[in-house]
Chain A
Amino acid sequence: MKKLTSSMLYLDDVSVAFDGFKAINSLSLVLEPGEMRAIIGPNGAGKTTMMDIITGKTRPDRGSVYFDGDVDLTRFDESAIATMGIGRKFQKPTVFESHSVEDNILLSMSGDQTISSLLFGRKSIGEKQRIDEILATIRLDGLRHEQAENLSHGQKQWLEIGMLLAQNPKLLLIDEPVAGMTDAETVETARLLREIAKTHAVIVVEHDMDFVRDLDVKVTCLHEGSVLAEGPLEHVSANEEVIDVYLGR
């Protein structure tokens, strides 16, 4: 059965349980093309698990997950989904520590290549330009030869966002991008994401409410695996239940 929607991402009645514990409970969420969405919610609400389901890491017990209209994501694995155009930044920044900043970006743009082209291929002019662009966007051009392990926590977060851009996805899933960042870095990251959102669909998970306010987009609050409230931030943050379970902590 084919489902045709006009949305970038379409989750309907999705559930997944770990040893009987329902981490995601009848979750529905729709993201339109070009939309940026902020997801908030208390620890353990299922935000990361939702990304696991979208990216093929976790298979839902129930429900449907469609990408780009009619692609049933539950039938594919991580690599296939990544190649289709979904990029993901992990909650704990994950970069290739023993490679230079530049090589991290380079490796992120060759995910669809065969072993032999990886062995024999040379860096093309186009790739060089693209690397320069991305490094400028994430403001790491001064550190391009630095080993990733020597970067600060915030710089690693940016590098990982740069790696997603290099992947050239249609949809970016970004899990807690400003954790461990200074205030200045946080402001800078919001600017960066707004920039990215001009040309990509984006889902951002974050606890930092100032940052979420800065993004100025529709907000979804998750709680116990389902949507508690959705809408503009003022609307969501005025919601009694949201204040009870999350904001009023």
Chain B
Amino acid sequence: MNTGFIRTIGRVNFIAILIILALAVAVPYGNLVAPPTSLVYVPDYMVALLGKFLTYAMLAVSLNLVWGYGGILSLGHGAFFALGGYVMGMYLMRQIGDRGVYSNPILPDFMVFLNWKELPWFWWGFDQFWFAALMIVLVPGLLAFVFGWFAFRSRVSGVYLSIITQAMTYALLLAFFRNDMGFGGNNGLTDFKDILGFNLQSQETRATLFALSAVFLAGFLLLVAWITTSRYGKLLVATRDAESRTRFLGYRPERVKLFVWTLSAMMAGIAGALYVPQIGIINPGEFAPANSIEVVIWAAVGGRGTILGPVVGAFLVNGGKSWFTGLFPEFWLFVLGALFVLTTLYLPKGIIGTVKGFWQARNARKQSQKDADVPKDTSRPATVEAPAE
């Protein structure tokens, strides 16, 4: 393997990506092949749960790209996730064909129920997977582009920007609740049957969706690692820290931000599109402002501005949520709030950021003790940083 490549993306990140790719094989193996008595057996519900977490991690990674590196605190990233989810949902609805309750070969059940006679124009083409796949990135990407174009050009930033992103997702929530929007109103889209002809209930399909999510997450991490080490990535961080300085050097920070913002929305859309078939439903609740805020907490807990932080945060917080809501469902929101406050106060760099800080300080100490000719080291193993448990 090319060591230059590993050095560029970071050794620890590289190992983590390999682990995620290994999971893409190991979990489906444990579920489909291993006998239930085996140590590596993975029950169905676990595949579904971890698959969901993977898509959450993808969402957190996309948020981290704009927030951690670009300083744009989006409180509306759930909207891009939900839009990607809706696009996938529309494709899955069309896949149902005449197997719906009303057996209408073209119209989804909810349209028949509303007495609609023909398919609205914005549902055209969604029976084609390639078209839906394109829309999964284009719809969130276009919304983000238009939104960002106006916001960044008028130099809206900081809290104001956060508030309008929150308003954006809230507006979409209200819109998607309406029946006449044509997206199934408050019931959303559900009762999916199959995807690309494969039964969505089958163990194999579900394991495949899990594997795909893991591969996409690994791809996202590679993408973020590559972007953030490029000159553009350095400029992005520079824009975050001293925007006006970049302007006086001749840059246009609004373009720098618009690019990463749009890309991030597309990534969130892909996450949503992988989420929906594994969950089996998409409804307007996914646009809830609170959802977007939770994503921010995942990234903050794991460590924003680090490659792996959002993944660790998404898994830990959601794992905690699954476990905790089993015990005391009504208290979860308090725990989440407390977690955010505690992280902000005592762990501002998040878990990975803090560990990385310790590690670098230790290395720097060693380095100065040795005072030797060893080149500044990314070459030393730093396994402590790998996402544990």
Query: Would you call A87 an interface residue if the criterion is a C-beta within 8 Å of the partner chain's C-beta atoms?
Result: yes
Task: Give, as a whole number of angstroms, the nearest-CB distance from B226 to chain A.
Answer: 9
Contact among A57, A103, A108 with B249 in the assembled complex (CB-CB below 8 Å): A108
Q: Is A79 a contact partner of B231 (Cβ separation < 8 A)?
A: no
Contacts of A94 in B (CB 8 A): 242, 244-245
A96 touches B231 (CB 8 A): no
Known: A115-B232, A145-B376. A79 touches B251 (CB 8 A): yes
Contact with A along B239-272 (1 / 0, CB 8 A): 0011011111111100110010000000000000
**How far, in Å, is A127 (CB) from chain B's closest CB?**
10
**What residues of chain A lie closer than 8 Å to B250, measured between beta carbons?**
79, 82-83, 111-112, 167
Query: Are B255 and A115 in contact (CB-based, < 8 A)?
Result: yes
- Judge whether B232 and A96 touch: CB under 8 Å: no
Return the CB mask of B219-236 against A: 1 if under 8 Å, else 0. 000000001001110110
Binds B, one of A36-44, A116-124, A204-212, A221-229: A116-124
Residues of A with C-beta under 8 A to B244: 57, 78, 94
Known: A119-B227, A119-B232. A97 touches B241 (CB 8 A): yes
Asked whether A99 lies within 8 Å of B234 as measured between CB atoms, the reply is: yes
Asked if A82 contacts B249 (CB within 8 A), the reply is yes
Q: Which residues of B contact A131 (CB under 8 A)?
A: none
B residues contacting the other copy or chain, number (CB 8 A): 23
Q: Are A121 and B231 in contact (CB under 8 A)?
A: yes
A108 to B250, CA, bound (A): 9
Contact B237 A99 (CB under 8 A): yes
Q: Do A118 and B232 touch across chains, with their CB atoms under 8 A apart?
A: yes
Residues in A with CB closer than 8 Å to B232 are 115, 118-119
Question: Which residues of A, 107-151, contact B by the 8 Å Cβ criterion?
Answer: 107-108, 110-113, 115, 118-121, 123, 145
Known A98-B241, A115-B256: A107·B235 in contact at CB below 8 Å: yes
Contact B238 A88 (CB under 8 A): no
What B residues does A101 contact at CB under 8 A?
A: none
| A220 interfacial by beta-carbon distance below 8 Å | no
Tell me whether A96 and B247 are in contact (CB under 8 A): no
CB distance from B355 to the nearest CB of A (A): 18
Give the CA-CA distance A82 to B248 in the complex, in Å: 5
Query: Considering only CB atoms, which chain B residue lies closest to A121 in the complex?
Result: B231
By a CB distance below 8 angstroms, the chain A residues around B376 are 145
A96 and B251 within 8 A (CB):
no
- Asked whether B255 lies within 8 Å of A78 as measured between CB atoms, the reply is no
Cβ contacts B313-354/A at 8 Å (1 or 0 each)? 000000000000000000000000000000000000000000
User: A50 interface residue, CB < 8 Å from B?
Assistant: no
A148 to B232, CA, bound (A): 18
A163 touches B (CB below 8 Å): yes
Determine the chain A residues whose CB is within 8 A of the CB of B252 once the complex forms: 79
Residue pair A96, B256 in contact (C-beta under 8 Å): no
Task: Decide yes or no whether A187 CB sits under 8 A from chain B.
Answer: no
**Cβ contact within 8 Å between B249 and A119:** no
| SS of B interface (majority) | helix
- Interface size of A by Cβ–Cβ distance < 8 Å? 32
Residues of B within 8 A of A90 (CB): 245, 248
- How far apart are B168's CB and chain A's nearest CB, in angstroms? 24
A residues 55-114 in Cβ contact with B at 8 Å: 55, 57, 78-79, 82-83, 87-88, 90, 94-99, 103, 106-108, 110-113
Q: Which chain B residue has the least Cβ–Cβ distance from A104?
A: B238
| Chain B residues closer than 8 Å to A97, beta-carbon distance | 241-242
Partner of B259, one of A78, A113, A115: A115
Provide the residues of chain A in CB contact with B235, threshold 8 Å.
107, 110, 118
Name the contact of B248 in the complex, choosing from A55, A115, A120, A123 (C-beta under 8 A): A55
- Residues in A neighbouring B248, C-beta threshold 8 A: 55, 78, 82, 87-88, 90
B95-112: CB near A (< 8 Å → 1, else 0) gives: 000000000000000000
Q: Per a CB cutoff under 8 Å, which of A87, A96, A112, A120 touches B238?
A: A96
B259 surroundings in chain A (CB, below 8 A): 115
Q: Is the CB of B256 within 8 A of A167?
A: no
B231 contacts across to A, CB distance below 8 A:
106-107, 110, 113, 118-119, 121, 123
A113 to B255, CA, bound (A): 12
- C-alpha spacing A238/B252, complex, angstroms: 45
Residues of B within 8 A of A111 (CB): 249-251
CB distance from B266 to the nearest CB of A (A): 15
B26-44 with Cβ < 8 A to chain A? none
A78–B227 Cα distance when bound, in Å, is: 26
A112 to B244, CA, bound (A): 16
Cα separation A79 to B253 with both chains bound (whole Å): 9
Residues of B249-298 contacting chain A, CB below 8 A: 249-252, 255-256, 259
Asked if A96 and B255 sit within 8 Å, CB to CB, the answer is no
A residues at B contact (CB < 8 Å): 55, 57, 78-79, 82-83, 87-88, 90, 94-99, 103, 106-108, 110-113, 115, 118-121, 123, 145, 163, 167
Q: List 5 A-B contacts (CB under 8 A).
A: A96-B237, A106-B231, A119-B232, A123-B231, A145-B376
Additional pairs, 12, CB under 8 Å, beyond known A57-B244, A78-B244, A115-B255: A78-B247, A83-B250, A88-B248, A94-B244, A96-B242, A97-B242, A99-B234, A107-B246, A111-B251, A112-B250, A115-B232, A119-B232
8 nearest CB pairs, A to B: A111-B250, A118-B232, A82-B250, A83-B250, A78-B247, A96-B238, A111-B249, A119-B232
